[in-house]
Amino acid sequence: MRAVLAVERLADVVDDHRMHPFGAVGLMNQIVAERGGGHVGNVFVFGDRLDFVHVEVAQAENVVLRDHGPSSRVSLVYGKFTTNRLEVIEYSQVTVRFCEEYQKGESFVSDHPVFVEALRGGHVESRHPIAFAIVDAEGRAVATRGDVERPVFPRSAIKVIQALPLVESGAADALGFTTAELALSTASHNAEAPHVEGARAMLAKVGRDETCLACGPQWPGREADRGRLHVAGRQPSRLHNNCSGKHAGFVCAACHQGMDPAGYERVDHPLHRQIAAALADVTGVDLSAMPRGTDGCSIPTWAIPLRALAHGFAKLTTGTGLAPTRAAAAARLLAAARAEPFMIAGTGRTCTELIEAFDGRIYVKIGAEGVYVASLPELGLAVALKCADGAARAAEVAVATLVAHLTGRADDPALAPFLSQTLRDWNGAEVGAVRAAEGWGAAIAGA
């Protein structure tokens, strides 16, 4: 966990006598005074060294304080100033840049996204913009990029939250759910045999079958599994839907509580009221003020700002800010997913393989349209990201890049396939790659 300090003098936290003699507040006040407006309110220092500083300035916009040398102790300051002129002012190792390209916002780092690039022949063919938030359990944003306050639909990324009533109600214990079944209740799976049979077994615990599921039939994710159905002359069923484990968990939770499971997918069903209440509690978001839609599996989905989503997963990860029963349920579901990563996705899937690459010490979960969340228990942090164009390939590289940097494994060869996805032609020859563009390290630094 990293401390947050309010300081008046940069010398309080940084042993660098070449800085402005009156510290960060004095420095910024002098700059603002020279430019004709505002005054500095507070300086917040994140971390045990000065990696990120958030400067709040009255009546101001558009300023970035960035280091321009390897020895500088100030790597970035984001504030709001009255001028938008392109100008650079040097104060020893500190550079203040006024420019129109930095827009007003609340991000500690930048409202501009970072990018994942697709390369072909060594040239950039496509660029995918990524917004992300790294947040601790107290709600402090360690680092952000892009517009993290804009609500986005998290879709399947929040399945752990949606499964909370299954555990909190006592249904999981009463019905003897295994660790694999708990993981499956949070899954977006390939519909491989263990997934399909697992969902069937969950329903059997309450004397139900797939006809109770509100999710529609869906072909399995892998060609081999689709082929087996074709050869057998069968069509996919609702059990093959990638959300069937989650829906089976819904049915079990409803039946255990004496609810009629019919219509559980409706927003006004008692079970979905429990799910909505859990989502609001965990993220701290007033769902009535958020856009609402219908997910691909027919249940309601609410848009959540990335920063709130990351904060929610940090709370789930640590238990901070949650009632004891909810904290215990969250810990159990996350532990199940980390222990049984195959059950939450399957063969060849980033969620499964990235958790395995970290020996179950992290959790990652995809949502549709370029959303990912990640939980890092040992750091007490969580990540939420959105690829603006919805590209899953870019979101996969982005979550791997964030987790690798946060855990100090950015140069680990074992993670190389996640950090750079190889593009091949139909003969199998390597023709390009999908990888993080420059700037990610600086964006994540200090986290």
Structural domains of the chain ordered from first start: 4-98 (no CATH), 131-444 (3.40.710)
Supply 223's token pair.
């060609």
Farthest CA pair distance, the chain: 79
On whether the CB atoms of residues 308 and 279 are closer than 8 A, the answer is: no
Mean pLDDT of 196-203: 98
Provide CB contacts within 8 A for 123, sequence distance 6+.
none
Give the per-residue pLDDT at 172. 98
Supply 5's token pair.
């300090």
On whether the CB atoms of residues 137 and 121 are closer than 8 A, the answer is: no
Give the per-residue pLDDT at 112. 62
Which of 89-98, 325-334, 336-345 has the lowest average pLDDT? 89-98
Give the per-residue pLDDT at 438. 84
Q: What is the pTM of this model?
A: 0.76
Give the per-residue pLDDT at 114. 85
Q: Which helix (H) or strand (E) holds 352?
A: helix 350-357
Checking 284-291 for CB contacts under 8 A at 24+ apart, the result is 284/139, 284/308, 284/311, 284/312, 290/151, 291/151, 291/153
Supply 407's token pair.
């855990």
On whether the CB atoms of residues 63 and 102 are closer than 8 A, the answer is: yes
Query: Between β-strands 123-136 and 300-302, what pairing exists: parallel, antiparallel or unpaired?
Result: unpaired
Asked if pLDDT for residue 231 goes beyond 80, the answer is yes
**Sole residue written with tokens 């300081």:** 7
Give the per-residue pLDDT at 20. 40
Q: Looking at residue 158, what DSSP letter applies?
A: G
Distance CA 129, CA 249 (A): 35
Give the per-residue pLDDT at 188. 98
Give the tens place of pLDDT for each residue, 300-323: 999 999 999 999 999 999 999 999
Give the per-residue pLDDT at 161. 98
Give the per-residue pLDDT at 447. 41
Give the tens place of pLDDT for each residue, 270-281: 999 999 999 999
Give the per-residue pLDDT at 113. 76
Mean pLDDT of 15-20: 35
Give the tens place of pLDDT for each residue, 372-389: 999 999 999 999 999 999
101 against 34, higher pLDDT = 34
318 C-beta neighbours (distance < 10 Å), count = 22
Q: Identify residue 337 by its one-letter amino acid code.
A: A
Distance CA 376, CA 241 (A): 29
Burial 78-116 (b: 16+ CB within 10 A, else e): bbbbbbbeeeeeebeebbbbbeeebeebebbbbbbbbbb
Which of 64-68, 97-101, 424-428 has the lowest average pLDDT? 97-101
11 against 437, higher pLDDT = 437
Whether the CA torsion 190, 196, 199, 203 is positive or negative: it is positive
Supply 114's token pair.
């970072």
Give the per-residue pLDDT at 441. 83
Mean pLDDT of 136-141: 93
First-residue to last-residue Cα distance in the chain: 10
Mean pLDDT of 34-60: 34
Give the tens place of pLDDT for each residue, 57-68: 333 233 333 333
Asked if pLDDT for residue 222 goes beyond 70, the answer is yes
Provide CB contacts within 8 A for 94, sequence distance 6+.
19, 20, 27, 65, 67, 72, 74
Give the tens place of pLDDT for each residue, 241-274: 999 999 999 999 999 999 999 999 999 999 999 9
Asked if pLDDT for residue 71 goes beyond 80, the answer is no
Q: How far is CA 327 from the centre of its chain?
A: 19
Checking 265-271 for CB contacts under 8 A at 24+ apart, the result is 265/214, 265/297, 265/298, 265/299, 265/300, 266/300, 267/292, 267/300, 271/165
Give the per-residue pLDDT at 111. 55
Q: Which helix (H) or strand (E) holds 161?
A: helix 159-162
